[in-house]
Structure 1
């Protein structure tokens, strides 16, 4: 399946300090993702993460909900048989991978419904914050479907194997408090304005720090989780690059001068 045009329902906004906001803009359908939206989401995260000016990416949904998952209305045509279902699943997997492998920190700002593939893209993010009315579910068993391994990889990483099994086997829903107690969420807040404010605060703190250091730290944490020697080598290279960077010199100078550092990402 080849997408000709980007889907405008995936909106991108960039601030001067390198904070990129990616918004799923289909509120009338609870931000359910069509095939073209899945494809655009993957392309957007790959593109924005590769931009040296990007320091953090925030993923959110327009309106009251984060994301209801894949658009079930498309399933008859696009997931009606094994061959088409596998092709659709490949688009899902590309989006999960683009979010998971983004070299910069990613934050999911979750309000309302966070179901199915919506839970998958949130789980692929590094940090997750939610409003107290947020709800989480993996309803594949009620549709007779199975999630791809890489989507389950992110969910297991986010909530642990036992909770992932409980969600996948029962299709139960978790409240924000239950998700927080299970370690899925970094924080819960009262409502959407509070969520936007807190996410902006965290994103701003990340953006103000040395980009090379943050990227190296993310790579190191990923290497610890994967235990892959190739990931460890990549993390080592990113860490070594900080030693000769102008930002390292700037950090030392700012500390000595008792002033705020001004990092350039080089």
Structure 2
């Protein structure tokens, strides 16, 4: 767990923790270490509640997701729930619908998100990590999608994110084999953005998160929106949204503050307006 002074807010009977780390950074911790942070339906719902709370907190500008216990970010879905909730196609569809809102919330999150990965990041855990804006991983982390070993078919959204990160051939290799790759290989194929020594992972992640949080929120938001539109098919791109967010930056108090701070050789105090 992150060593942050503030006591965490708990969701899903303590299996999801939310902490405000200061300097505009919020942390969500998957806290089910006895099961290597395997995701239950209750944890999915708790994740959504924590994401909404940090989304609606104007003091939070960046959200970091991490796992408790040091052995896993999220090791996948809680297999013990499968007999009851994912035993056939209809049940699996109902299960997916119950977690769809949380996945959509993370996919369209308005603030920057970072996955801070230590240990296992498998299946649904990798899906969560791929929904964040960037992924930093400890040197001992492992990644994989064991769907073929469980008889599970991954849907369009999950595979779209995987293919966009690693390309179709590497996606096929991961899915067809169900094999795990280490952090060095994950970095090589583009699945993660940085590999960091284990004991430096969280401090380094929080340093980057605080750097982002210290920049102009409207400019960061504009970058996030524009990159999301670039990744869409050309026919689906919202060019007006790009223009609106760009105009909002140029007309903002923060743009004036940035110019003044540069001329005065001081650190700017951005307010997000």
Structure 1: state its 5+ residue gaps.
Answer: none
Q: After the TM superposition, which of the residue ranges 34-43 and 65-74 deviates more from structure 2? A: 34-43
SS in 1 for 2:267: coil
Count residues with an aligned counterpart: 261
Deviations 1:190-218, CA, capped at 9 Å, x for gaps = 21x20011101100100110001101110
Answering whether residue 17 of structure 2 is matched by residue 11 of structure 1, we say yes
User: Within 2, Cα distance between the matches of 1:92 and 1:127?
Assistant: 21
Match of 1:176 in 2: 183
CA RMSD of aligned residues (A): 1.6
SS in 2 for 1:133: coil
SS in 1 for 2:115: strand
Answering whether residue 139 of structure 2 is matched by residue 132 of structure 1, we say yes
Deviations 1:44-92, CA, capped at 9 Å, x for gaps = 2244234333211100000121111110000000111322210111233
Answering whether residue 268 of structure 2 is matched by residue 261 of structure 1, we say yes
Q: Is the 1:89–1:148 contact (alpha carbons within 8 Å) kept by the matching residues of 2?
A: no
Q: TM-score, normalised by structure 1?
A: 0.93
Q: TM-score, normalised by structure 2?
A: 0.91
Match of 1:195 in 2: 201
Deviations 1:9-64, CA, capped at 9 Å, x for gaps = 11111133220100000011000000111122133224423433321110000012
The residue correspondences of 1:96-107 to structure 2 (distance < 5 A) are 96-107=103-114
SS in 2 for 1:15: strand
Answering whether residue 249 of structure 2 is matched by residue 242 of structure 1, we say yes
Q: 1:110 aligns with which of 117, 127, 130?
A: 117
User: Within 1, Cα distance between the matches of 2:139 and 2:75?
Assistant: 17
SS in 1 for 2:210: helix
User: Within 2, Cα distance between the matches of 1:104 and 1:35?
Assistant: 24
SS in 2 for 1:197: helix
